[in-house]
Amino acid sequence: MEKQKTGIFSGSFNPIHIGHLALANYLCEFEGLDELWFMVSPHNPLKEQTDLWPDELRLQLVQLSIEGYPKFRASDFEFHLPRPSYTITTLDRLKEAYPEREFILIIGSDNWNLFEQWREPQRIITENKLLIYPRPGCAIQADELPENVRLVHSPTFEISSTFIRQSLAAQKDVRYFLHPAAFQRIREEDGSAKR
């Protein structure tokens, strides 16, 4: 039986925005993924990340944003792994837990350019398939990529979670940068913080 092709899209999603969602939608509809899991990264206790929203809120915003699209899943898998969490550990554990799936790592071209700094980069490439999506200002040569690594020609979105957080802090209405349900939840959270 053929394994389900499952994309792993890891990130802090602090918060998830339409750029993340549109990219993930493209990868499912045009690049042959059966499912895509938004792997929400936990807060790293070894790092000062004071602007990182609580783990459960970030996970909830992903859940709200993907509701109704059957190919998406929100995952807190890394919340239950030793920290700091390394991609190689996550992939190893996923394969143990879900042997019926083929996991495909999704990273941006900016991260590919730093890939040698990751933990066990060669083993990640040897034992897994990778899809690389373009990021503005981070070009890579598709013909120089290893066999298991493929560049996709997805649309690029110059939106960042940092921009969203800064805009919200400045009381800007950025509802069209977020899924409506996520925007509503953030407004509720903001309101409760002010009471």
- Taking the C-alpha atoms of residue 145 and residue 151, their distance in angstroms, rounded to an integer, is 8
Q: 107 phi and psi, to 5 degrees?
A: -140, 160
Q: What are the DSSP E strand ranges found in 92-189?
A: 101-108, 129-133, 149-151
Residue 160 structural domain: 4-194
Q: For the chain, how many structural domains are there in total?
A: 1
Rounded to an integer, the average pLDDT of 34-51 is: 82
Residue 148: which CATH number?
A: 3.40.50.620
Q: Is 68 left (phi over 0), alpha (psi -120 to 50) or beta?
A: left
Pick the range with the lowest mean pLDDT from 26-40, 43-57, 81-95, 126-140: 43-57
- Taking the C-alpha atoms of residue 154 and residue 164, their distance in angstroms, rounded to an integer, is 22
pTM more than 0.85 = yes
Residue with tokens 């690029």: 156
**What is the rounded end-to-end Cα distance, in angstroms, of the chain?**
55
Residue with tokens 């996550």: 90
Closest of 98, 97, 109, 195 to residue 149, by C-alpha: 109
Q: Give residue-wise pLDDT tens across range 61-92.
A: 999 999 999 999 999 999 999 988 899 999 99
Q: Give residue-wise pLDDT tens across range 166-194.
A: 999 999 999 999 999 999 999 998 865 43
